[in-house]
Amino acid sequence: MTGLPVEERFANHKRGYKSASVVTKYGVELAPEWYEDIPAMPYAEAALTEPALADELRDRGYLVYGPTARKPEPRRRRSRR
């Protein structure tokens, strides 16, 4: 999340400034169809919204690095033999 325009933030990622290494290494281009309908919002609201949007993309089959709104599944105990 940032206060910068999307294009400027992506350019920063690509040049390695305050970047996520996955974007620096693999980012090709922006996909405005995924974000152009999302209005600008205050940081606190964005922090609550981002995990749900990330989960929606995961449900559509995309690999998403970032937070999730889902509760972790309980770990299964290994049976002792």
Report whether pLDDT(9) > 80: yes
> Number of helices and strands (H, E) in the chain?
3, 0
Summarised one tens digit per residue, pLDDT across range 43-78 is: 899 889 999 999 999 999 998 888 898 888 888 887
Q: What residue has token string 């169809």?
A: 33
Q: What percent of the chain has pLDDT over 90?
A: 30
Domain map (residue ranges) of the chain:
1-30, 33-63
**Helix, strand, or coil here: 61?**
coil
Question: What is the residue-averaged pLDDT of the chain?
Answer: 87
